[in-house]
A and B are shown apart, each in its own frame.
Chain A
Amino acid sequence: MTRLLLPGMEGRVLGERGGLRVVELYIGAQHPASGHMRLIVYLDGDMIVRVDPDIGYVHRTVEKLAETREYVRVISLVERMTIIDACNVTLPYVEAVERLLGVEAPPRARYLRTILCEINRVSSHLYGLGLGGIFLNHSTMYMWAFGDREVFVHLASLLTGSRLTHTYPVFGGVRRDLPQSFRDEFEKAKRYMLRRLREYDKVFFNNPVIRGRLEGVGVLPREKAVALGATGPNLRASGVRYDARMTGYAAYRDLGFEPVVGREGDALERVWVRLREIEASLELVERALRELPDGPFIDERYTRAVPPAVRHWLEKGRLKLPGGYVRLKTRPGEALGRGEMGRGEITYYLVSDGGMKPYRLRVVTPSARNVVLFDALARGHTLMDLPAVYGSIDYFPPEADR
């Protein structure tokens, strides 16, 4: 039997795949809700049979570029992977290099790093919540989260002098000391954010429409989360008590860090974990500010070399790095850096041959690990659940593609 082919019918022909008659839907790379990536979705009716995340649209060869730059210049390179979470993404690298250099940051620097990390985490979670909101067409959550994120961007710029790419942790310490106005500003920000979180609960989290979209969608059971290697809030929402901050880097050991752990593992729980982590981060920053030790904010090995003409900056709490800082040489060997970003655990594996540049820098970012969740979580749900799943795993293509 010949098939009748009307003009303009080719776009509607169903594909066949694995014996199933399915629609292949290409969501992205030009699509309002795809991000810098493409999702190839196979639909049987309205049911998702399979999702192929097509990644790599924003691959910037970070690992290879790192081999061509001096250690200190690599900091500003790797933070480009996730500029909205800049301190969290650079800190494990800095700590790995410090291990090879044989230098340790003074206590005050470790606390300051923690403070910025947690502020970054709050902005990262707000960013994720906002996008999660607009994925469900909840424009108010989107605008609120992005507007309130500005508060924390401002705090970060007070501390570091720049809004996004701070390059704050450097080998042996941090770039700047705590400004005097910071404590007051943070106190205000914390009060404001806690009030706003109650409002988020009202308008978004407890909104019956949003609850209906998120509850029971994309359930990730505990065993599966572990088997798939999910990380970050997505892992904790499934009831796994794991957070790279528990290893106690920076000042987390002294601050007695406790992760937020969920139970259900569905999209709603993942959003809940993010909301509660914002509260936990605010607590951590407050505790860090209270217990902030006195002392230098960078190892004296590097301040000694600061030329006398710019020494007065150091007394004002700002570091003008000496020229030799670019030509630092590490001992040959390898080092591993781990840290918890807003989206999960980031791992750096650094190999040095004793030169001024890394011999090899391997980066595994949390989003690169979470990308498997698209297929695992969306299967068996309807097409309308795909944005809910995407929003709830807080996937960030530039971070995954590196």
Chain B
Amino acid sequence: MDPIAWLSGSLGVPYWAVRAVAAPLVYPGLAAFMVVALFIIWAERKIAARVQMRVGPLYVSRRLGGALQVLADGVRIAFQEIIIPVGVEKWSFVLSPILAFTVVSLAFTMVPGGPGIYGFRSSLSLLATYAIVTLTPILVIVMGWASNNKFSYIGAGREALVSITGEATLLASLLAAAMMYGSMDFVEIVEAQMRSHVPGLVANPVAALLFFIAALLVTDRLPFDLVLGEQEIVQGPYTEYTGLLFALSMALGYAKLYVLMLVFTHVFLAGWAPFTSPLLGSIAVFAKTLLLMLVAVFLRSVYGRMRLDQVASMFWSKLFPLALVAFVVSALIHPIYAP
């Protein structure tokens, strides 16, 4: 049974309106993101602990292996005082993390969570998702500026550099993929892959790799966690934040990672394939996304932080030219996805 149809029937609201609210709020939106964040942060700490000869989170809910530690931390942070330092520009300081997280959540209206599970379907949903995700750096820069702290300020500068550097490659790899499928609609992209039985990862591995690496950069994952840069600039633009505002700014990175990995799932891993039913398809998308996020957070136990100039030169002089190769690959391979 379709819960959306039932809701629209009992409330007397059109089907599309219920869907437009349910997708960003429940799945793949905020409720699902909460589950993902709880699981991924726990898994990140547990994996790192296993690699590093530790146990990781344990004492909160011993039987679940400390799985509720993140929830406990969240509760603690929720009751923590939100300190607003004297020198900050109050309104931009308070509003920018809230706005940034809200902006990222808007992406959930566009990205499907399974077959037929989406807020809106548009022929430009891929581009729109990208545009929404890349709006947040501006707000992070506002955070850094408003904090009135030199570390935050330097962090904001790094965010500017990192976002420009990463997003060029991100967009290039997405456009290469869009060119390959001849579409910018997630649903059409997934259907093209299901029709030809060739996932994008196999058809154009260059674009997939570039997208993954660039996603690591724009979401502040190791080895590119330049904006957080704890050993140099404490917490970067988030240094002065406390309580829920700090939690929001930390969730921002994970939300972006979640959105981008959902995009990766659809564009390169054939989305809900091999299933076509909404339930099984959604589970497939969710599982693939979680797996990708696990790979992204596992890198924490392997790498250190790369230097700023090395990241910039790697992206501009190696990866961005490689994106042009991805375009060539797309141009050669796109007949297999022709309808």
A-side interface residues toward B, CB under 8 Å?
Answer: 6-12, 23, 25, 31-33, 46, 133-144, 147, 203, 207, 209-210, 212-213, 382-387
Known: A7-B89, A138-B303, A213-B305. A12 touches B232 (CB 8 A): no
Q: A135 contacts which chain B residues (CB < 8 A)?
A: 231
Shortest Cβ distance from residue A217 to the other chain B in the assembled complex, whole angstroms:
9
The 0/1 profile, CB within 8 Å of A marked 1, for residues 222-258 of chain B is: 1101100111111000000000000000000000000
**Interface band, chain B:** 35 or more
A353, B148: Cα distance in complex, Å: 58
A325, B171: Cα distance in complex, Å: 77
B153: nearest residue on chain A (CB-CB)? A12
Q: Is the CB of B306 within 8 A of A209?
A: yes
Q: Is the CB of A384 within 8 A of B300?
A: no
Q: Is the CB of B52 within 8 A of A143?
A: yes
Q: Is the CB of B231 within 8 A of A139?
A: no
A11, B309: Cα distance in complex, Å: 26
Known: A12-B153, A137-B225, A147-B52. A210 touches B232 (CB 8 A): no
Known: A12-B150, A144-B52, A147-B52. A136 touches B305 (CB 8 A): yes
Given pairs A33-B231, A137-B225, 12 additional interface contacts (CB within 8 A):
A6-B89, A31-B234, A33-B232, A135-B231, A136-B305, A137-B231, A138-B305, A143-B52, A144-B53, A207-B303, A210-B304, A386-B232
The 0/1 profile, CB within 8 Å of A marked 1, for residues 298-338 of chain B is: 00111111111110000000000000000000000000000
Q: Is the CB of A212 within 8 A of B307?
A: yes
Q: B222 contacts which chain A residues (CB < 8 A)?
A: 137
Q: A385 contacts which chain B residues (CB < 8 A)?
A: 307
Q: A387 contacts which chain B residues (CB < 8 A)?
A: 231-232
Q: A147 contacts which chain B residues (CB < 8 A)?
A: 52-54
The 0/1 profile, CB within 8 Å of A marked 1, for residues 204-234 of chain B is: 0000000000000000001101100111111
Shortest Cβ distance from residue B223 to the other chain A in the assembled complex, whole angstroms:
5
Q: Is the CB of A140 within 8 A of B51?
A: yes
Query: What are the nearest 3 A-B pairs in CB distance?
Result: A143-B52, A138-B304, A136-B304
A141, B48: Cα distance in complex, Å: 11
Q: A33 contacts which chain B residues (CB < 8 A)?
A: 230-232
Question: B190 near A: Cβ within 8 Å?
Answer: no
Q: List 23 A-B contacts (CB under 8 A).
A: A11-B153, A12-B150, A23-B150, A25-B150, A25-B154, A33-B230, A33-B231, A137-B225, A137-B230, A138-B304, A143-B54, A144-B52, A207-B302, A207-B303, A213-B304, A382-B308, A382-B309, A384-B229, A384-B232, A384-B307, A384-B308, A385-B307, A387-B231
Q: A382 contacts which chain B residues (CB < 8 A)?
A: 307-309
Q: Is the CB of B302 within 8 A of A140?
A: yes
Q: B290 contacts which chain A residues (CB < 8 A)?
A: none
Q: Which of B51, B226, B231 has the most CB of A within 10 A?
A: B231
Main secondary structure of the interface of A (DSSP, over half): helix
A386, B300: Cα distance in complex, Å: 21
A46, B304: Cα distance in complex, Å: 20
A400, B53: Cα distance in complex, Å: 32
B92: nearest residue on chain A (CB-CB)? A8
A10, B89: Cα distance in complex, Å: 12
Shortest Cβ distance from residue A46 to the other chain B in the assembled complex, whole angstroms:
7
The 0/1 profile, CB within 8 Å of A marked 1, for residues 264-285 of chain B is: 0000000000000000000000
A6, B92: Cα distance in complex, Å: 13
A33, B305: Cα distance in complex, Å: 14
A383, B155: Cα distance in complex, Å: 12
Known: A8-B146, A25-B150, A209-B223. A133 touches B234 (CB 8 A): no
Q: Is the CB of B150 within 8 A of A11?
A: yes
Q: B151 contacts which chain A residues (CB < 8 A)?
A: 25
**In the complex, which residues 113-155 of chain B have their Cβ closer than 8 Å to any Cβ of chain A?**
146, 148-151, 153-154
Q: Is the CB of B52 within 8 A of A139?
A: yes
Q: B87 contacts which chain A residues (CB < 8 A)?
A: 8, 10-11
A210, B148: Cα distance in complex, Å: 32
Q: Is the CB of A139 within 8 A of B225?
A: no
A390: nearest residue on chain B (CB-CB)? B231
Q: Is the CB of B53 within 8 A of A139?
A: no
Q: Is the CB of A383 within 8 A of B153?
A: no
A134: nearest residue on chain B (CB-CB)? B231
